[in-house]
Each structure stands twice: as structure tokens, then as C-alpha cells.
Chain A
Amino acid sequence: MGSALLYEYRRAVTLRTTWIFLLIAFAMGGLTTWAQYYISGADNGVGSYNIGLLLTRVTSIYQLTVFVIASFAALSWGHEYRFGLNRLTLSVFPRRWTVFIAKTVGIIVFSSAAWLTSAIGGTLLLFSVDSKHVVDYSLGVVNSTENIGDGRDPKLVMEHIVAWHWLGRSLAFVVVFSLIVGAVTALTRNLTIALIVPNVMMLFAENVLVLVGNFASAATANVMNQVLPFVNGQRFADWSTGSAQGQTASASVPTMQSMTVYLSWAMLLLIGAGISFQRRDA
């Protein structure tokens, strides 16, 4: 397994595309955060800086950057088929599960790294436009609004620890989305389909389905809301949803159900992709 992981690592780092994606993720994180900073008008004056607003900025970048981040997952599998590299890969690693697991791990690691890069990009850009406060709030945990501007050392305020999980949710959404895109690529062996279908599903198709379901009956729409992957994924990661639910630990209960649905879809697709990868000709 070690050599398969090393192979996957080398595959990723020796491609310029990988670094370009990271750069784009960084830039997009910065730009979207910067845009939100002005659009939302979050800086309501010293002391009123709300940790929730900052987290909204940082976590909401997933909605845009996820496309870029997940493209890596698509290319991870897509290049294998597009350039015939799968024959080379599988002649070196005849145990196909090894390759499949290494690729899955690679996608998880890269999407996490790209998410972090994106978040750093967002934080740095906020810092550049409002350095006075952003450092304190950069990860939204080590300060409370009471500390702002009072000259005291930052201190950890336990009630804000709960905010961590919103960052975690954003990360989880991005990673699972990447796994879905990767699985779709492995299943279809088609880069274009893998790049388009999940994104179209998330942005349009599922919303249309729910809308159509609404026309049928409220129950139908409710079922769709309960079972569709990206509706649930977004519900899980969306800070504003959580905010509406009170921004407390208890708010995580319904969204954890959403995560279960979202993750189940990812696992289902991954298992399908794994079986397909195991059985089909290279």
C-alpha cells in the first residue's frame, strides 16, 4: 500500500494541474471571502464583529471552490483512462484494490489540502482588508467579541468552540463531494460527465426535482429532501441553516442526518466504482 500511495503522490505532485488547482482554490477562497466581506457588510464596527459572520465567509467558499477542488478528483481518475495510464498503473499494481484505496486516500488528502488553502486564502484576504480584527478571528475560536479592542490577550471562549464544527462541516462537504466526483469518474471513465453531472445535480437538477416534487405533494418533496445527496450535503454544511437553527450543538442533530444521507451516497458510489474498477478491463 505504501508504494501505491507514493505512486499516487508522485502522480499528483508532478502535474502542473495539481498546483494550478491549489492556486485557484487559494485565489477563489480569497476572492469569494473578499466579495462577501463587502456584500454582507459584516464589519459593523469594532466590537460587533460576529464570529458567525466570519465563519459564514470562510465556510461558504465551499460552494464555489468545491468545483475546483473536486476537479482534482475527476482528473485523478480521468487521466488514467484518457491517457491509457491505467494500463501502466495496473501492470505495476495488479492488486486493483490497492490502487483504488490509494486514489481515494489521495483525493481525501488533496481535497482537504485544497480546502485548507482556500480557507487560508480567504482569511489572508480578509486580513489584508481588515487586519485589525481578522487575526483574532481567523479561525473563529480564540477570541470572543468581548475581547475586541479592549487590549487584553485573546482568550479561548468555550462557547465558541462549537463554531469549529462548522469549519469541519465545510471540509467534510468538500471532501465528500470530491469523493463523489472521483467515484463518478471511475464509474463512467468520462471526465466530462464526471465534471458536469455532480455539479449540475447540486446546482440545478436536485432543486428542480424538489420543485417538481412540491407540485406533486408536500410529502413527495419532503422525501426528496430527505434522500437527494447534494440537498442534504448542502444542508449539512450550510452555516446559515445552522444559524437559523440556533448555532448550538443541538442544531447539529438534524444536519447530522443530512450528512448521513450525503455520505451514504458517496459510499454507495465509491463501492460501485470500486467493484467496477475491480471487474472491468483496464
Chain B
Amino acid sequence: MPSARARSIRGPVRGLSAGCPQSRRGNSSGAHGWHTVKDMRVVCDRLTKDFGNFRAVSSLSFALNAGEVTGFLGPNGSGKSTTMRLMLGLDTGGGSTTFDGKSLNAYSNPAKIVSAHLDAKCFHPNRTARNHLRMVAAASGVTHKRVDEVIELVGLESVARKRPKGFSLGMGQRLGLASALLSQPQVLMLDEPANGLDPQSIAWLRDFVKDYAADGKVVFVSSHLLSEMELLATHLVVIGRGTLIADESMEQFVSRSTRNDVFARTPAAERLMQALAAEGVTAQAADGGVAVAAASTEQVGAIAFTNGIELHELTARKASLEEAFLELTSDTQEYTMERGH
């Protein structure tokens, strides 16, 4: 399968690369003054933000590593977007964010270090898509050729000369994404990039982002589409009410859920539960069988075998990211909806 770096949303594109040429593990300042860093590491240290008396982000510390797609999760109003803005210096607050040990201000061309897509409607409605990108390109010393490349990459060729006031949410997302990709930054920050994208574009975005990270870049993505995030991220930063809930790998996070269990289907459910209880294993009747918490399939199988209990199915059930997320953030929901409404 061709790399997503060489494909546009609509298909392969010749000569395209989303990766920064000098990011190929180089560590030098090129003739263009572009700063490249080997294994960029982003460190957020005690980020804090108050809106009046309300503390939106509270002493949040975490790190982002090169080569990883880090998912940024949290319920509505948990402070994700505020955190991203703090990281970029768009909001003023406490704490600091360093990019390879230095603040963003210390770089001569910050656009080459970090680029963000925070809002799908972040453009003037009467400035054509191409001109919008050319304007952004001027800021980071990017050529018009690169602008055309990126337009092709995100599949906006047909509307490049049109004013984006009539753009759908998905088209706006593509334009925002194109803007973020222009300078081929070491750190790519995306806030809800999949909102409004069609399934094909979401799949393209997923492949693209994965390849971008695999190229040695830092990718930080917030999304409410947990199923999508499950396929995309390898690391998670989860916050609730502005505080850190988890900063760990996807696997570790999901394994913390109590929804991880072993399911046994048997005609002797009652006997199996008694046998498990005798071994100190907690089990309960569920889904027409027995759900066993904190035990492996080997353990359950062995206990059933020892007690002569016939099993028709024995499955290790793994919680989904959504289940783990809902469970682990249930206490930090800022805004909840009543069931049935």
C-alpha cells in the first residue's frame, strides 16, 4: 500500500511528501534557517489556566514524543482546546511548554517547529483557499509550489480558487489541515480534525497522521471520535475538569477498565460461578453466560476443567477505548445529558 505521505485524499500524488526533508533524522539548521530537531520532545509543565474563578486547566503536565500519535481525550469542557492554546502560547496562563527544551519564541521560524489546526472555520470567507494558504506560506517561508502540493494533498484542487464562505465543515477541515501541513512542522497539533470529514477522508487522515508520526514527528490529536482514536493513537493523554487522568499508552489505558473480563458460555453457569468463587475469583451472570473479572482465560478454563464443567465458549473480552474512557472519566463529566432526552 502506498504511503499516505504520497497520497492525496483522492489518491496517489506524484512527488508529494508530507514529511519535512530535513527531518530525516537530521540535526542542523539548514540554509533556509529551518530548525530541525532530532527526536523532538514536547514537554508541558504545570499548565494552568483560570477564567475568573473557574480553573479550566489545573497544573497539567505531560510529554509528547516523536514517532508517536498522542491522542488527547477528555469530556466536553474538560480543557482540551484551552490546553492546546496554552501550549501554543495563544492563551496566557501558568506553566510552560518547551519544544526540544526551548520555548517556541526561541525559534527563528516557529512554523517549522509546530503547526496547529485548531478550528475548521479559521479563514476569511472571501479570501480564496489558495490565497489563504499563500498568506500562511508567506509567514513560514514556504514556496507557492508547496502550497499547490498541499492543496492537492488534501483534495482541494477543484475549489482552490473559490472563496471558502460556502465551504462545508469537511472542506474547512481540509483547508485547516492544509494550512497546518504547509510548513511540514516537527510537531503537528490537530483539534478535532475528523469532524465533518466523510469516511474516506477520515481513513486518509488516519493513514496520513500515522505516517507523519512514523516519520519521526510529534503528532498530538484531540478527538471525540473514540473509535477513530482507538485506530489512530498509540499514546493517550486524558484529562477531566482540567486535571490529568491518564498519560499512558493506549494499551495501558484500556487495560485499566473493569470491562476487561473473560466470558464463559456454559449450560452450568451456576456451578461455574460457585467453582470460581471457591478459588477466590469474582464472577457474575451476564449476557447468557458468566463474566469473570480479573482472571485469564487459562485460569477460568482450568477451573472449569477441574470441576468437570462443560464450556461452549471462553473468550477474553477487552474493553473498547470508549468503554474505558466513559468509565474512567465518569467522575469528571462537566456536562451530562439525561438519558432518554
Residues in A lying within 8 Å of B, measured CB to CB: 3-4, 6-7, 9-11, 14-17, 79, 83-85, 87-95, 279-282
The one of A14, A16, A88 that contacts B122, using a Cβ cutoff of 8 Å? A88
Closest residue of chain A to B137 (Cβ to Cβ) is: A10
Q: Supply 21 A–B pairs (Cβ within 8 Å), ascending by A.
A: A6-B138, A10-B138, A11-B135, A14-B135, A15-B126, A79-B124, A84-B119, A85-B122, A88-B123, A90-B88, A90-B89, A91-B90, A91-B114, A91-B115, A92-B111, A92-B140, A279-B92, A280-B92, A281-B85, A281-B90, A282-B91
Give Cα A91–Cα B110 distance, bound, in whole angstroms: 8
Verify if B179 is at the interface (C-beta below 8 Å from A). yes
Verify if B125 is at the interface (C-beta below 8 Å from A). yes
**Contact yes or no, B139 A85, CB < 8 A:** no
List B contacts of A93 (CB < 8 A). 110, 139
Residues in B lying within 8 Å of A, measured CB to CB: 85, 88-92, 104-105, 109-111, 114-116, 118-119, 121-128, 131-132, 134-136, 138-141, 179
Given contacts A92-B110, A92-B111, contact A87 B118 (CB under 8 A): yes
**Contact yes or no, B139 A83, CB < 8 A:** no
List B contacts of A281 (CB < 8 A). 85, 90-92
The 10 closest A-B CB pairs, nearest first, are A14-B131, A282-B90, A10-B135, A92-B139, A6-B138, A7-B139, A281-B91, A94-B104, A10-B138, A84-B122
**Contact yes or no, A3 B124, CB < 8 A:** no
List B contacts of A88 (CB < 8 A). 122-123, 136, 179
List B contacts of A7 (CB < 8 A). 135-136, 138-139
Question: How many whole Å from B230's CB to the nearest CB in chain A?
Answer: 28
**Contact yes or no, A83 B123, CB < 8 A:** yes
**Contact yes or no, B138 A95, CB < 8 A:** no
**Contact yes or no, A282 B111, CB < 8 A:** no
**Contact yes or no, A14 B119, CB < 8 A:** no
**Contact yes or no, A87 B90, CB < 8 A:** yes
List 13 extra interface pairs beyond A90-B89, A281-B90, CB under 8 A. Answer: A3-B140, A7-B139, A10-B131, A15-B127, A16-B126, A84-B119, A87-B90, A90-B88, A93-B110, A94-B104, A279-B92, A281-B85, A281-B91
Question: How many whole Å from A95's CB to the nearest CB in chain B?
Answer: 6
Given contacts A281-B90, A282-B91, contact A17 B126 (CB under 8 A): yes
Which of B109, B115, B119, B136 gathers most chain A CB within 10 Å?
B136
Which of B88, B92, B111, B127 gathers most chain A CB within 10 Å?
B127
Give Cα A88–Cα B123 distance, bound, in whole angstroms: 9
The one of A3, A10, A90 that contacts B90, using a Cβ cutoff of 8 Å? A90
Give Cα A279–Cα B123 distance, bound, in whole angstroms: 23
Give Cα A17–Cα B136 distance, bound, in whole angstroms: 19
List A contacts of B89 (CB < 8 A). 90, 94
List A contacts of B128 (CB < 8 A). 14
Give Cα A93–Cα B90 distance, bound, in whole angstroms: 10
Give Cα A87–Cα B88 distance, bound, in whole angstroms: 9
Question: How many whole Å from B151's CB to the nearest CB in chain A?
Answer: 15
Give Cα A244–Cα B139 distance, bound, in whole angstroms: 50
**Contact yes or no, A94 B88, CB < 8 A:** yes
List B contacts of A94 (CB < 8 A). 88-89, 104-105, 110
Give Cα A85–Cα B91 distance, bound, in whole angstroms: 14
List A contacts of B111 (CB < 8 A). 92
Closest residue of chain A to B131 (Cβ to Cβ) is: A14
Given contacts A85-B123, A85-B124, contact A91 B88 (CB under 8 A): yes
Question: How many whole Å from B101's CB to the nearest CB in chain A?
Answer: 16
Question: How many whole Å from A66's CB to the nearest CB in chain B?
Answer: 24
**Contact yes or no, A14 B91, CB < 8 A:** no
List B contacts of A95 (CB < 8 A). 105
Question: How many whole Å from A19's CB to the nearest CB in chain B?
Answer: 12
Closest residue of chain A to B110 (Cβ to Cβ) is: A94
Give Cα A281–Cα B90 distance, bound, in whole angstroms: 6
